[in-house]
Amino acid sequence: MKNEAYLHSLLPPVSKEIKELENYARQHKVPIMEPLGIDFLMQLIRIHKPDRILEIGTAIGYSALRMLEAYPIAEIVTIERDFVRYEEAKKHFKSFGKEDRIQLIHGDALAVQDEVAESGWFDLIFIDAAKGKYEEFFNLYAPLLKDNGIIVSDNVLFKGAVANSEQAPERLQKIASKVRTFNQLLKDNKNYHTSIVPIGDGVAITVKA
């Protein structure tokens, strides 16, 4: 915890607009990426410079906007199934003046693959939607990844419940079990190399072998 507090103290300041978005998420109990996790993701994007990004799980648009902040010339396709969240994201993209760089798709990610595929290949795929469906998301969208692309999956430690499932609240155990299975499948997949970084809520980085 001391290390985490120290790392938090080193985080760069965010803009007034981003701070307002973070406050909105907190007040309305909208899950967004944790500060250390989003900072790490933004650094990956600065290094990798992905021209095209696919995000599975838009929520209110926070992560998409932060990814564009890290690499403003990127194009993002992002999917959100909840209509209220979809409308909130659309509003936020417009207020930030980024609607021309983001294609927002309303629908279940497991049902809109054809529409997504029409837009082409991706340099980075970011998975941050229903945790119990990560394996399905990965299998469905990994074929759209370019050979030098990366897949980033958030929440792969899931509030500590993945590593300590027997001590986790019962309501978290089922999802934690599915995330644990997903993590193992990533590690066992001979077509990819995966590393899990214990930052934020756990971030998996996957590249083609």
202: left (phi over 0), alpha (psi -120 to 50) or beta: left
Helix (H, G, I), strand (E, B) or coil at 153: strand
| 80 annotated among ligand-binding-site residues | yes
- Give me the number of domains the chain comprises: 1
191 has binding-site annotation: no
Q: Please tell me the predicted confidence (pLDDT) of residue 120.
A: 93
SS3 state at 89: helix
Task: Return the SS3 of 135.
Answer: helix
Mean pLDDT of 29-38: 95
Task: State which residues form the domain around 170.
Answer: 2-208
Using CA atoms, how far residue 86 sits from 54, 125, 200, in Å, is: 16, 19, 25
Is 147 assigned a ligand-binding role in the annotation? Answer: no
Q: Is 170 annotated as a binding residue?
A: no
Q: Which helix (H) or strand (E) holds 55?
A: strand 52-56
Question: Is 164 annotated as contributing to ligand binding?
Answer: no
| Domain at 134, CATH number | 3.40.50.150
Q: How far apart are alpha carbons 43 and 82 in whole angstroms?
A: 29
Nearest CA among 203, 206, 36 for reference residue 128: 203
List pLDDT tens digits, range 91-131: 999 999 999 999 999 999 999 999 999 999 999 999 999 99
The reply to whether 109 sits in an annotated binding site is yes
Whether pLDDT at 58 is above 70: yes
Q: Has 39 been labeled as part of a binding site?
A: no
In angstroms, the Cα distances linking 36 to 56, 63, 180, 192 are 20, 13, 22, 25
Please report the pLDDT score of residue 161 as a whole number: 85
How far is it, in rounded angstroms, from Cα 186 to Cα 193? 8
Tell me: is residue 63 an annotated ligand-binding position.
Answer: yes
